[in-house]
């Protein structure tokens, strides 16, 4: 099946048949180029927010496998600068940012929007290993 999708090319439409809950269904999908790690896949964050001093990255399947994650939800912390706000709060590489306030974080742009406005109180959900930590941090 992979070979047949590859021969159609980016932008083409492919019809997939799926079986779900005992029934078969057909879906038309538009084929897109696989994301590249070079395409703004990571960012250094600074500013008046809990993530000041972190480098964050999109969770690709390869990166998730490398750090032992089964789920691609969230944005992963890949580095924490010494002496930063993030280090003071105990953030560490491998933490996955799931939510900021009421915003679910699925990519770097969502995280950037969630932290651009100062807050009196930051509510943040972080996945660390098999646990979800719920932090409340004064702004």
pLDDT score at 39: 46
Residue stretches of the chain with pLDDT short of 70: 1-7, 34-40
Distance, in Å, from the CA atom of 67 to the CA atom of 107, rounded to the nearest integer, reads: 18
Tell me the three state secondary structure of residue 132. Answer: strand
Domain boundaries, the chain: 1-33, 42-138
Distance, in Å, from the CA atom of 115 to the CA atom of 123, rounded to the nearest integer, reads: 11
Note if the pTM is more than 0.75: no
Pair 101, 119: CB distance under 8 Å: yes
- Residue for token pair 């703004």: 40
- State pLDDT tens for residues 14-37: 888 888 888 999 988 888 776 555
CATH node for 42-138: 2.30.42.10
- Residue for token pair 């943040």: 124
């Amino acid at each position: 099946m992979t070979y047949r999708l590859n021969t159609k090319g980016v932008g083409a439409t492919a019809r997939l048949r799926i079986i779900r809950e005992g029934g078969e269904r057909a879906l038309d999908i538009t084929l897109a180029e696989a994301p590249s790690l070079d395409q703004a896949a990571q960012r250094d964050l600074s500013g008046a927010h809990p993530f000041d001093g972190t480098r964050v990255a999109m969770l690709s399947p390869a990166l998730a496998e490398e750090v032992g994650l089964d789920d691609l939800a969230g944005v992963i912390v890949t580095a924490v600068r010494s002496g930063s706000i993030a280090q003071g709060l105990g953030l560490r590489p491998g933490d996955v940012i799931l939510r900021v306030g009421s915003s679910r974080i699925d990519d770097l742009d969502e995280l950037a929007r969630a932290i651009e406005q100062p807050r009196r109180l930051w509510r943040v959900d972080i996945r660390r290993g098999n646990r979800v930590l719920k932090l409340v941090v004064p702004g």
